[in-house]
C-alpha cells in the first residue's frame, strides 16, 4: 500500500520538549498518548547507529527519556526477538525522524506500533543535534514532553526528581525466581534489570537461576551455585537497598562476575564509592583499554553512575575508558570476583569483550 501523506499530515500532533533549565524544543507527538499530554523523566542521549529496540527495552533506562543522536530511527521496524526485557521501562523516546515505513524481513511491527503497544510516549521532529550539544554541556537533566502547553511542561520537568537517590531496581527486578539456559555449571544471577542477551550468553555456560534483587546471601548460597552474576540495571547504586551487603557476604564463598550496575555494586561491596557522571555513557562506540594487554576494545555502554577512582582499597583496576578515564573494570585481590562497567554481551554493540563470559566460566571451573 502506498504511503498516504495526506492522512499522515492530518494525524500530526504538535508537541514540545521542555528541559528543567527552560530549554524548549519543538516537535510532534508520536508513540502512546501520555496522560494529560505530559511525559516526564531524566533526559539522556544515546549514540548507537542501530539497535534502537534493544536500547528502548533495556531496563537500565527506567526513569529516563532516551534521545537518539542518529537521525533516522525505526528503519527496520521491530520484532519481539530483539526485546531485552518483558517491556520497555524508559519514560519516553526522543528522535529526529521516526521512519514512516519499515523495511526488514524480520519486522513484525513498526517502531511506533511497539511504543503504542507498550504505552511509551515519544516525540519526533526534535533537533537532536542541538539537544545533544546542550546535554553534553549542561549535563543530563529532568525534562517533560507532550502536547500540553509550555508552562505546564516546564513545571512538570522541574518537578521530576531524576534518578539520583532513588531505588529504580525495585521497579524492574523479577518478582520470583526463574531458570534459563542448560549449561553444565550452576549460576545464580541477581536481577537488577537483567537483559535477555546477557541471559543468552550465561545460558550457554550454565543453568542460570535468576533471582529478585532483594534475595539474601543465605538464600543464594542455599542454591549451591558455581558462580554468582550481578546484572546491569537502572539508577543509583547507593540507593539499591541491601544489595551491597548481600554481595559482601558472598565474596570469597563463590566466584562473582558483574556488569554495569553489578560492577558498581561489587565495587561498593569492596569498599569503593560511586558518583553520578555529568551526562553518562550511552552508546555503542566507547573505547576502553584493557590494562593487562594494552588492547583497546570498542564497547557498548549505558550508565549514569561510575566507580570513583582512588576509592578501591582491595581491588585492581583492569579497564579504563579512553574518552574520560572512568574506571571500566575491576578485579578483587582477596576474592574470585571481577566486573566491568560496559556491556560485553553487546546487545546492541560490538563483540570485542565477549571473552569476559569465558573468563567467568574459567573462574567457576577453578573454584575456590
User: The cell 513498526 sits on which residue?
Assistant: 110
Query: 5: which 3 cell numbers?
Result: 501523506
Distance CA 129, CA 36 (A): 28
Q: Is residue 345 among the annotated active site residues?
A: yes
Distance CA 172, CA 242 (A): 16
Distance CA 211, CA 133 (A): 40
Name 209's bridge partners: 179, 188
User: Which residues, 6+ apart, have CB-to-CB distance to 8 below 8 Å?
Assistant: 100
Q: Is residue 263 among the annotated active site residues?
A: no
Active-site option among 23, 54, 328, 345: 345
Half-sphere exposure of 87 (CA within 13 A, CB side): 13
Distance CA 139, CA 92 (A): 18
Active-site option among 201, 282, 286, 343: 343
Is the separation of the CB atoms in 194 and 200 below 8 Å? no
Question: What DSSP line would sit under 282-332, residue for residue?
Answer: EEEEEEEEETTT--EEEEEEEEEEEEPTT--TTEEEEEEETTT--EEEEEE
Q: At what angle do helices 261-269 and 243-250 cross, to 10 degrees?
A: 70
Range list of H helices, 148-250: 150-159, 169-172, 196-205, 217-222, 243-250
Active-site option among 160, 260, 263, 297: 260
Angle at 165 between CA 160 and CA 168, to 5 degrees: 75
Q: Is residue 343 among the annotated active site residues?
A: yes
Distance CA 116, CA 39 (A): 14
Cis peptide before 25 (omega within 30 of 0): no
Active-site positions read 260, 343, 345
Amino acid at each position: 500500500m502506498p504511503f498516504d501523506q495526506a492522512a499522515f499530515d492530518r494525524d500530526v500532533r504538535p508537541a514540545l520538549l521542555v528541559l528543567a533549565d527552560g530549554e524548549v524544543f519543538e516537535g510532534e507527538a508520536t508513540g502512546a498518548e501520555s496522560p494529560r499530554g505530559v511525559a516526564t523523566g531524566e533526559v539522556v542521549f544515546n549514540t548507537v547507529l542501530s539497535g534502537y529496540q534493544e536500547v528502548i527495552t533495556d531496563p537500565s533506562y527506567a526513569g529516563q527519556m532516551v534521545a537518539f543522536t542518529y537521525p533516522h530511527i525505526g528503519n527496520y521496524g521491530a520484532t519481539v526477538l530483539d526485546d531485552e526485557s518483558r517491556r520497555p521501562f524508559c519514560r519516553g523516546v526522543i528522535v529526529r525522524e521516526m521512519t514512516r515505513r519499515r523495511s526488514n524481513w524480520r519486522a513484525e511491527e513498526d517502531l511506533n506500533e511497539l511504543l503504542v503497544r507498550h504505552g511509551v510516549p515519544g516525540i519526533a521532529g526534535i533537533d537532536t543535534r542541538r539537544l545533544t550539544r546542550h546535554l553534553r554541556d549542561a549535563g543530563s537533566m529532568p525534562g517533560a514532553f507532550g502536547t500540553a502547553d509550555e508552562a505546564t511542561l516546564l513545571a512538570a520537568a522541574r518537578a521530576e526528581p531524576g534518578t539520583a537517590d532513588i531505588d529504580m531496581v525495585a521497579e524492574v527486578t523479577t518478582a520470583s525466581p526463574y531458570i534459563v539456559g542448560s549449561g553444565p555449571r550452576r549460576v545464580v544471577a541477581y536481577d537488577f534489570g537483567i537483559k535477555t542477551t546477557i541471559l543468552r550468553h550465561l545460558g550457554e555456560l550454565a543453568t542460570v537461576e535468576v533471582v529478585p534483587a532483594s534475595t539474601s546471601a543465605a538464600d543464594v548460597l542455599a542454591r549451591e551455585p558455581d558462580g554468582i552474576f550481578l546484572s546491569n540495571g537502572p539508577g543509583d547504586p547507593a540507593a539499591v537497598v541491601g544489595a551491597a551487603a548481600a554481595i559482601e557476604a558472598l565474596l570469597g564463598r563463590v566466584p562473582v562476575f558483574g556488569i554495569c550496575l553489578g560492577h558498581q555494586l561489587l565495587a561498593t561491596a569492596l569498599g569503593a564509592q560511586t558518583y553520578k557522571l555529568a551526562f553518562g555513557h550511552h552508546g555503542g562506540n566507547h573505547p576502553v583499554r584493557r590494562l593487562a594487554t594494552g588492547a583497546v576494545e570498542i564497547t557498548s555502554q549505558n550508565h549514569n553512575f561510575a566507580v570513583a577512582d582512588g576509592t578501591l582499597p582491595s581491588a585492581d583496576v583492569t579497564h579504563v575508558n579512553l574518552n574520560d578515564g572512568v574506571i571500566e573494570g575491576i578485579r578483587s585481590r582477596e576474592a574470585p570476583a571481577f566486573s566491568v562497567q560496559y556491556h560485553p554481551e553487546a546487545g546492541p554493540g560490538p563483540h570485542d569483550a565477549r571473552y569476559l563470559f569465558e573468563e567467568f566460566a574459567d573462574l567457576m571451573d577453578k573454584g575456590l
